[in-house]
Homo-oligomer: A and B are copies of this chain.
């Protein structure tokens, strides 16, 4: 199972691509020129595809199929996740194996940061209410908030969190970071605090931005206690993973006015069910797990995989290795 491709040049390279089944990832042609490419989209098709595959490309970040079909992986030497989050791949058998995992670090950073800034400005300028007044053809003047010197608390200081921090600082906000461990402040964050200090940091934040990976440490991190610690004028923005937030506690906090609003791109259940309470809040902005998905992102993901594949074929160190201990690719900074 750990036999690397470069040691077996006579064996044709076989790559399994695990997709969501709805779409064939565009740009696969360039991979097909290099290898036999087999598509799979669920446990059954994956069981057929895996035997003999040295490389697995996972484009469906929600998949549970790999864990279910794991025993069929007889030749895997490298797994690349074409996503920032790798939480679905961090099951025991893979974590304990010596198969390296890489991810799509960097690809989504800029667009996610723009999305977050857009949501901050939508709250400050009351954009959603403007849309509603426009629908009613009503001219209603209000005073709006500025974001200058407002504090953005970015939970997660990886490459996405850093990019968010950089953009928020560029527009004059105060930016504080939260990471697994405390680190010295730098050009992006005035300070980076340990996640264990979160409760002492929350009261001062105007915008609390979740940019953390989903791990044992972050699952359910934002629960009732955390919302009570937040300022009643603060907004929560989640572009990380849905299960970092206890959704029922968020709904209760909104009902109680413990926070002023939320912009949510990720949810515990995706798609968010049509009958879910969150759709109905005036002070909640919902998008369909698309914050990172700029026009051309699928091509960019394949291009990134192809570059790493070339390195793998030459026996070179892979880009964006995921720490299987921590469940994410450490930021280069």
Q: Give A residues with C-beta under 8 Å from B.
A: 110-111, 114-115, 117-118, 121-122, 124-125, 127-128, 130-134, 137-148, 167, 170-171, 270-272, 274-276, 279, 284-290, 293-297
Contact = CB atoms under 8 A, between A and B. Distances in A.
A73 B148 CA distance: 41
Given A134-B285, A146-B110, A171-B171, A271 B139 contact: yes
Q: Pick the 5 closest A-B CB pairs, nearest first.
A: A118-B121, A139-B271, A170-B170, A141-B288, A137-B274
A117 B171 contact: yes
A44 to B, nearest CB: 26
Contacts of A142: 288, 290, 293
Oligomer copy total:
2
Contacts of A114: 121, 124-125, 146-148, 171
A242 to B, nearest CB: 13
Nearest to A125: B118
28 contacts: A110-B148, A111-B144, A115-B125, A118-B118, A118-B121, A118-B124, A122-B122, A122-B127, A125-B287, A130-B286, A131-B285, A133-B286, A134-B279, A134-B286, A137-B276, A139-B288, A140-B288, A141-B293, A142-B288, A143-B293, A143-B296, A143-B297, A144-B290, A144-B295, A145-B294, A167-B171, A170-B170, A171-B171
A121 to B, nearest CB: 3
Q: Which of A142, A271, A290 has the most CB of B within 10 A?
A: A290
A98 B140 CA distance: 38
